[in-house]
Structure 1
Amino acid sequence: MAVQIENLGQLDRKVTLEFARADLAKAREDRLAKLGKTLKAPGFRPGKVPKSMVEKQYGMQVDFELQFDKASELFYGWAQNEKILLAGQPRFDPKSELDADNVVFEAYFEVLPDVKIGDFTKLEVTKYTTDISDAEIDRAVDVLRKQQVHYHPRGEAGPHGNGGENTAAQAGDQVVIDFVGKIDGVEFAGGKAENFEYVLGEGRMLPEFEAATLGLKAGESKTFPLSFPADYHGKEVAGKTADFTITVKSVNWAHLPAIDDAFALSLGVTEGGVTKMRQEVKENLDRETKRRITSLLKGEVMEKLNSICELDTPKSLVAQEQERLAESARQDLIQRGIPNAKDAPIPAEMFAEQALKRVRLGLILSDLVKQHNLAATADQIKAEIDEQAATYEDPKEVVRWFYSNPSRLKDIENLVLENNVIQFFTSQAKVVDKALSFEELSKLN
């Protein structure tokens, strides 16, 4: 066997592999004999077909397969012996005839790049801090109340009152209306509905529509002009003015549940009432805050790493990542029930920039992990799983769920590994603490 390697560029390599066809003689004979046992031919019993007929039927196929297998075996053996770090699968190109005594292949491949890590100490990252106040807990509880809102007709007595003496539609009320819209006196598609229900102030309808409804009582009607924006989603009416007539069928005021032990029980808090409920709300907000702060810090660290590290990116890995992202996008469409998602054109090229960045970061992280021993340990993985499982009703079952699937375990391992890199980075770089309210934190990208 002979091996010759040639440098074709920054990461591209070509190796020429040569071996004697005679080296495959026994394997060829054995492969043909095995195929001959299954070959059927008129006038011959199974397994009794002459060798010449087996040769004629399968000879070229067997030569092709054995020579490719041998080239692959030689290549990977050579790469292992030489400690070549491959960036992907090689491409084998035969350069000799199938019946040549001396078989020659060329293997084209990419090697992993050398990664030049920049100086962390010259960089600055921001680490946000947030304290959950009683006001934030109040806002979160109010959101939970609104999720249980129910409506009563204005002016009608009920267990929760009548909503006040004013029976006209007000902000926050739910209204049920009939409406019809016309442009130049002609009704248009989508401009008519009966028993249409919406809540005033939620922004579901155009501002002119809501303004016209405010102040009307059940049974009252109103006609008003409405100008559709030029960028309105309905292209047939975009930029045009329509005359709408609305008739209010009912006006219903919103009743929110009182914040008491019964409300806490409705949220699954079986003991401790409102006090325990507020404690659990704070714990959830603390977890969300921690997740958000970690995500923002991780994003900034990854951006800084990408900017200060120098490396050539293997084209093969970028191509593979593009295909993976395209397939992930397709699966997302399928899960969302998008029609014909399986056949929808999703060009891998549209993910080129994202794939390049992910591959670069993957190589950078891999290098950092090796250099500074940042691999995830079994104890770290267990601690992360236990922390995630603690948010569920049956943590033990969640822990079993993680450990029962190698793919899920790998995801946790990668998460811990990234956290290790972040801790290492922030131990070297300058970290600036910045306090924000929970609301301010939630608005950051």
Structure 2
Amino acid sequence: MNVDIGNALGGDLGLERGDLDTLDERVADAHERIERGRARSEHGYAALNLPDTCDPDAIRRAADGFDPEHLLTVGIGGSALGAATLTGALGAGVDCRYLDNVDPVWVRAIVDEVDLSSTVVNVVSRSGTTAETLSNFLVVREAMEAAGVDWTERTVVTTGTEGNLRSMAARHDLPALDVPDGVPGRFSALSTVGLFAAEVAGVDLDAVLAGAADEADRLAGSLFESPAYAYGATTYALAERGAATNAVMPYAESLERFAEWFAQLWAESLGKDGRGQTPARALGATDQHSQLQLYRAGPADKLVTLVRPRESNDVGIPETDLEGLSYLGGSSLGELLDAEFRATEASLAAAGRENVRIEIDRVDERGLGELLYGMEAACVLYGELAEVSTFTQPAVEWGKNAARGLLGGGEFSEADAVTEKRRLEVE
């Protein structure tokens, strides 16, 4: 992974090279804290050890014997987004779907669309009590039974050492993968949580983990020696100067789900104590025609993160005699996309709007491993510099408790706030 922070300097927010030189002393201290946390496998920091601690053979054993046409991953948030990123970018030959919402019309449509007799279901929840996940799983299980499909022959569980799903797996002798200890869901893409779907979809797990290990080896006590830390430190420094939004814009359709994964990682980890950046999702070159106007000419409160592979397959553009378009003939879509990328980058810089370029060699297993690990390490560093509790999510837990209380799942004071909603209705 390569990170170019040149266009983050000298813009409207006033970040200069000297500011990064000063910040680098704090980066060295933060790196020492991160390394101590990794050495002790402390909660959260253990995620940065996954290239070494994840056992791909266990994942392969759980997937052994299945040759499905469809994979339904039933999970939400970190229990689905990492897997969706990997299979969306790299999966081939298997139709991978993710039941990560409880919109009844949408869920029913997906369940009705797939051939359940040739579907593998992976239900993912550390606690085994996630309301959305368990509800969707019960819907899928009922649909399989109605279709005459033995769900116990086509279900794999990924969960903690205790809980409803672990008990169900034991009762029905289901393949069960352990969610790793000390790894929050949004940091679990490089574990059993994200890699089972990838294995079923034909992704080379060893190569993914090797790419992540390469990036782990590049962590160092200076932001000028580590791409991940360069990104984490720069985004932190810009946020302190008013970059309240971080718009992540991959220039590859295959990385669209990556932006979604990044949004959870960044928002849930760093949105604490009145601090953090709001992640915005965009896609190049599509959103040059819908969002770039705001990023270039709107409020100077944003960082744009441009992500792309350096190499990819290409498609030639046929010659044409259409007036004004002859310059395109003999070129290629890849060359056009590259020009769009560089034009966007230059456009933002010319307007004084900060942007950062992140590149991987190509969208393959090693590249995705580097990218996922690099962004996780960047997020951890940002959290250290901002002195926030990176690995907790109290606001999310508040909402969960409120919903459980409304549904009769226990006595939760958070549910009382729902009845106290202020109303000003216009009909």
TM-score (norm 1): 0.22
More strand per residue: 1 or 2?
Answer: 1
Q: Return the structure number with greater relative CO, CA threshold 8 A, min gap 6.
A: 2
More helix per residue: 1 or 2?
Answer: 2
TM-score (norm 2): 0.23
- Bigger radius of gyration: 1
